[in-house]
Structure 1
Amino acid sequence: MNKVTDAREAVADIRDGASLAVGGFGLCGIPMDLIDAIADRGVHGLRVVSNNCGVDGWGLGVLLDAGRIARMTSSYMGEHAEFGRRFRSGELEVELVPQGTLAERLRAGGAGIPAFYTPVGAGTDLASGGIPLRHAPDGSVAAHAPAREVRVIDGAEVVLERAITCDFGLVHAAVADTVGNLVFHSSARNFNPLCAMAGRITIAEAESIVPSGTLDPDHIHLPGIFVQRVVRARATTPKRVERRAVTAP
């Protein structure tokens, strides 16, 4: 059951309006080769779930700059100027979610749990439906994110958060075997396993691909049952650093 293919073939069935769970955190662990392959396809109206949207001209910023993304579900807008501009102008719908809640919604989707209660966001605009979801071209709020169901459990107010599943999961791994078992390197093991679990069809790009049976089972971070396609990452794709910090001698 060899799942290895090339990037172009792996994304060939991603259509207009598809939902994508995309791994990575900042610029770490981003499936850049798969993003480039999707950009080459020219699909539009994508609904993307990812911790952030890359930066201008890199990561998911490539798809955003080209106007391919219609909706982002993220926890961080950060220093991405185009992301903020498109949201404020009404060109992009954005659902902002606390980072831990976003991670748990993806994990729940992969585990088959439809929803869960959390105290995070209780008593805030997140619970009451006061967070802007979409702006009008003049900058006014055109739609708010829906209010959450609120309950009291053991004396604490909690909000209901629904699980996230997507048509496709796109992830970047350090090592994959031919049946899709994955090993992630250091902090690239952030949202990547969760996005892989949440995708109905998951595509993993890997820096190294080894024969099935080569990996020590105790070293596998994500079993191949969650992965349908494996692509070898290009060695020429640079690993960007979002903000370099050095210590003076």
Structure 2
Amino acid sequence: MTAPNGATTVRPSSGAEPIGPLLVRPRRRSIGTVLLFLLVGAVLVIGGLTLRSGLGAPTPVLPPPVAALKLTARGQVEPVSHAKVGTLSGGVVASLAVQTGAQVDEQQEIARIRGPNGTEVLTAPWRGTITSVPVHLGDTVLAGTVVVTVGDLTRLRIETTDVDEFLIAHVRRGQLVRATVDALDQVEIVGRVSSAALRLQTSSGGDEHYPVVIDIVGTPMNLVPGMTVRLDFGPE
């Protein structure tokens, strides 16, 4: 039975005195339950903030693992000693005494340039082989133009500008390198790294690279300047 004030009363059985109103109080949650709810809420809030910040953060770019990185590059055979012979005054190419592949001695006449102040005689700086003649008889050339290049073909090396920032980390001075010559039916030669740039350089075409020079160990027959090779910097 419900009393006027909202309390619940219990009717006594026959012959018993009334007990009086019994108040039914609401249940109280234990302190442990409240703390558990607070802890779960804090975890959810922290997790949400972490996830939100992680979505906006940039993903770091990692270099490929060594096992997946191809330690190869392209290179070109060049003389160890070579010189570019050019005109100081400019003018008209009046004579060309040599052709590509010709042998020249030190101070041998190479070409004559007829300029405004007379005729300029160009000579070989030392004994070697003419590796290129980029001008023709009768051409008008400016001051500083290269007329011929001379190289010492008794000593050759490999130069490469195909080494990037990942590959340079695996290149060291004195390291043995395997080189495959495409023009000689894939013949393989051995070289040793003589120099490796420590700073990144930019070519005229805008490509960034680390120049590396490799001395050839024993020059094979028919190997000439200008031939391309495939270099392998992998484990020896």
Under a length normalisation based on structure 2, what TM-score does the superposition of the two structures give?
0.18
Higher strand share: 2
Higher helix share: 1
Q: Which has the higher contact order (CA 8 A, sep 6+)?
A: 1
